[in-house]
Amino acid sequence: MRPGGEERRWRVEIRYDPMDAITVYYNEVRFFQVVDEFVVPLIYRILQTATVTASQVAVSGYLGTATAADLTGVAGSLLQASAPLEAGLIHYLIFCLHVALFLNTAREPLQKILKYSSSVIFRIAAPAAIYVVLSLWYTLINLTFHVPLWGGLGAVGFWVFRLLAWISGLSIGLAMESMITILGPSFLPFFPILWLVLDISSSFFPPDVQQRFYRYRYAMPFYHNTQAT
């Protein structure tokens, strides 16, 4: 209950708005879909019962219009909540695809003169160096959405988040390097389509509300990035 709401109600002030008597605040951090689909409807049902009971016993008729449906305006922006993780990781994977294709084109003229060991080192070291830059880009993009990267770690949080982005880039990029050997550069773009479907369908909902089929999420880089974030 808002402070002073009970006193103002008994005074029957003309300017008193009963729809302002109850305010609910909630914070969507990770798995915002679960909050909107499970938690918020539960809050609505609880408040619906409370407001109906209050309207029946109140002397003033103001509280008769204070229903839980009036709380929809306090919900945060779903687009702002989903962009740092979902959209960001999707674009990150697309950039990793282009990096793999670019490095394959750059490596082809050198294949005849590179030894096997040198070729392996090149295919690991070159993506790792590129993802140092991409991880900084991804981290700065998240800052534009006011994601609190510092959290409880202080200034170190920024670098921990960037290190996580770099490791995620390696896990995606090295998989691209492996698949380009199997599929070839012509058919490689078909692999990220399947991988995106598997990643997105299993990584952004908590395991408790998912079917057993989605246990393959433990092999998906998006899931581990989401958990670590």
Distant-in-sequence contacts of 167-172, Cβ < 8 A, 24+ apart: 168/89, 168/92, 168/221, 168/224, 168/225, 169/92, 169/96, 169/127, 169/131, 169/134, 169/135, 169/138, 170/127, 170/128, 170/131, 171/221, 171/224, 172/92, 172/93, 172/96, 172/221
**Distance separating alpha carbons of residues 113 and 99, to the nearest angstrom:** 22
User: What number of helices (H) and strands (E) belong to the chain?
Assistant: 9, 0
pLDDT digits (tens, 9 = 90+) for 9-27: 445 445 556 566 677 777 7
Give the angle 200-204-205 at the CA atoms, nearest 5°.
120
Cβ partners under 8 Å of residue 38, min gap 6: 209
Under 8 Å between Cβ of 127 and 173: yes
pLDDT digits (tens, 9 = 90+) for 48-94: 777 666 666 654 443 344 444 443 443 343 444 455 677 788 888 88
* Tens digit of pLDDT at every position of the chain (229 positions): 445 555 544 454 455 565 666 777 777 666 666 777 777 788 878 877 776 666 666 544 433 444 444 434 433 434 444 556 777 888 888 888 888 898 888 888 887 888 888 888 888 888 899 999 988 988 888 888 777 777 667 778 888 888 988 998 898 888 888 888 888 888 888 888 888 888 888 887 777 777 888 888 888 888 888 888 7
